[in-house]
């Protein structure tokens, strides 16, 4: 049982125009087995929230706290956060030149677990997870994200999640740029991880489409760098019909 607790989180970023506050008091708690959809318009700070929790150096936390199982995440290095059980699937996954998917996964698994996975079961696990995500075995020998299509990048992110088995996973717009088939395959991967590992999920999305496949327990409307409203899945339905306009007039 894990718990991620974000309390009154404020974060800034340096822009050419000066320091800009993006996160303006975020409160959010995610427990094992729960799926929280974070829904908000473009530019509301969703990715900033993901990066701030994961420890991206561009974002400075100016106040508030983030704890995982009572431990201060903000004091940890990015590696330590991963070892503590945190996983981030980025909205725009980065290339890792010269490193194959296969090597990358094994290195990440070793780093997260503190020991190398037993080779025979590992090879089988990777193959099984790739099969499930309908990934060609040849994919394992390609360099991470080099020339990957949008769909391949997203599948690779979910592949990592399925193999690393984090306690808490942040999925930043894992649905963006996917066609219907890829969306279903990726969603099935997320649902498998939920069933098999009780992972707690922060599912950041702009659209309600992915919520037809992955049922959230909670929906948080994210506007102007904070949670503007919270509810159950019915809130997503309302957003689908009404959009974010009603929040934008009152935000900022």
Q: How far is the CB of 9 from Mg ion (least distance, A)?
A: 16
Rule CB under 6 A: say whether 42 interacts with ligand ADP: yes
Considering only residues 30 through 69, tell me which ones interact with Mg ion, judged by CB under 5 A.
42, 46-47
Rule CB under 6 A: say whether 46 interacts with ligand ADP: yes
Rule CB under 6 A: say whether 174 interacts with ligand ADP: no
Bridge-based pairing of strands 143-144 and 96-100 is antiparallel
Q: How far is the CB of 42 from Mg ion (least distance, A)?
A: 4
Rule CB under 6 A: say whether 55 interacts with ligand ADP: no
Euclidean distance between CA atoms 151 and 7, whole angstroms: 34
In the bound state with Mg ion, the residue whose beta carbon lies nearer, of 32 and 174, is 174
Residue with structure tokens 């391949």?
152
Rule CB under 6 A: say whether 93 interacts with ligand ADP: no
Euclidean distance between CA atoms 175 and 190, whole angstroms: 11
Q: Which stretch binds Mg ion (CB under 5 A): 59-67, 91-99, 119-127, 136-144?
A: 91-99
Compute and round to an integer the Cα radius of gyration of the chain.
18
- Cβ atoms of 232 and 219 within 8 Å: the answer is yes
Q: How far is the CB of 233 from ligand ADP (least distance, A)?
A: 21
Rule CB under 6 A: say whether 40 interacts with ligand ADP: yes
Residue 42 CA: distances (Å) to CA of 120, 132, 236: 44, 31, 16
Q: How far is the CB of 21 from ligand ADP (least distance, A)?
A: 9
Rule CB under 6 A: say whether 121 interacts with ligand ADP: no
Q: Give the footprint of Mg ion on this chain (CB under 5 A).
A: 42, 46-47, 91
Q: Give the footprint of ligand ADP on this chain (CB under 6 A).
A: 13, 15, 22, 40, 42-48, 58
């Amino acid at each position: 049982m894990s718990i991620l607790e974000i309390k009154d989180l404020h974060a800034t970023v340096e822009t050419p125009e000066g320091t800009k506050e993006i996160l303006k008091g975020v409160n959010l708690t995610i427990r094992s087995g729960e799926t929280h959809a974070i829904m908000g318009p473009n530019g509301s700070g969703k990715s900033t929230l993901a990066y701030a929790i994961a420890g991206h150096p561009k974002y400075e936390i100016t106040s508030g706290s983030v704890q995982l199982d009572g431990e201060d995440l903000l004091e940890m290095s990015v590696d330590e956060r991963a070892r503590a059980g945190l996983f981030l699937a980025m909205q725009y996954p980065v290339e890792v030149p010269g490193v194959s998917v296969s090597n990358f996964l094994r290195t990440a698994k070793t780093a997260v677990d503190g020991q190398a996975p037993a080779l025979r079961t590992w090879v089988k696990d990777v193959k099984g997870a790739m099969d499930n995500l309908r990934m060609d075995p040849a994919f394992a020998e390609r360099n991470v994200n080099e020339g990957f299509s949008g769909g391949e990048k997203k599948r690779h992110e979910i592949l990592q999640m399925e193999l690393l088995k984090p306690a808490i996973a942040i999925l930043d717009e894992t649905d963006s740029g996917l066609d219907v088939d890829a969306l279903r395959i990726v969603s099935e991967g997320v649902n498998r991880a939920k069933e098999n590992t009780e992972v707690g999920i922060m599912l950041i999305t702009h659209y309600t489409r992915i919520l037809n496949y992955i049922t959230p327990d909670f929906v948080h409307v994210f506007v102007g760098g904070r949670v503007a409203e919270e509810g159950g899945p019915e809130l997503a339905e309302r957003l689908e019909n009404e959009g974010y306009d009603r929040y934008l007039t009152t935000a900022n």
